[in-house]
Structure 1
Amino acid sequence: MWKRLFAILLLLALGVLLVGYRNATADPVVRRARVAMASWPAGAPPLRIALLSDIHVAGPDMPPARLERIVAQVNALKPDLVLIAGDLVSDKRVASHRYPVDEAVAPLRNLTPRLGVVAVLGV
C-alpha cells in the first residue's frame, strides 16, 4: 500500500518537474495588450512596448543562442521601446552549466527599438 502511494507521488512529482522544465525552456509567448491613456495626444500613433521578464541569462536554461532567438523575435515585433523587468541574470548557485555573464547578455546588444532599452536587474 505505502509503496504504491509513494510510487504514485514520485511519478506525479516527476511529471510536475518535467512540465515546469518544458515551460521554462519553451519559446516565449507573445501577448498583446492595448492600454488607453487619457493624457495621450489625440491622433498620436500608439507606442509599441515589448516587455521581457525573468529571462535569467547565464543559467543552463538560457544559453546565448536561445537569447539570440528571443531577441530576433522581439525585433520582429518592431517595438518602439523594450523593457526588461527583473531577474535578468540567473542566480542559480548550482547548475549543470553557467555562461559568463558578458557572453550571456551579449545578444541583448542586438535589440533595435527606436527609443531604446530600459532594464531593471532585479534582486
Structure 2
Amino acid sequence: MLSTQIAFACVPSRNVDIYFAFDSAGISAAEFRRLADWALEQRKNYPNQQAIYLDGYAEEVESAPRALASRRASEVERLLVQLRFNSIPMETSAAVYRTGDVSNGKRVEVSLLPACPNDCCR
C-alpha cells in the first residue's frame, strides 16, 4: 500500500495594506492605528524578523502618481521606524495602477518577512 503524505508550505510573509486618501501621502489616524496594531501583533508573534517590504501605489488619475506612490511608501517606513521596526532592513518600491485595475490602488502594501524557519512555521 502506498502512503500519501501531505506537506503544508510555510507562507512566511505577514501582510497589511495601508490606505490613503486621493492625492495624499498622509496617513489617517485610523490607518495609523491599524498599522500600529499590526506591527505590535507581528512583533509578538514573530520576535525575529528578516525584512520588511513596502510597496507604495497610486492610481494614474492622481497627481504625479509615481512620486506620490514613493512618498506613501516613505511615510509608512517613517512610521514603522517610530514603532521600532528599525533594526531590520526595509525595502521600498513604487508603482502606478491604471484606472480600473484594482478597486483601491491608493495604498502601501506592507510585507513582513519573519526570520524562518523557526518563527514562521509554527
Q: Which has the higher contact order (CA 8 A, sep 6+)?
A: 2
> Higher helix proportion, which one?
1
TM-score, normalised by the number of residues in structure 1: 0.36
Structure showing greater Rg: 1
TM-score, normalised by the number of residues in structure 2: 0.36
> Higher strand proportion, which one?
2
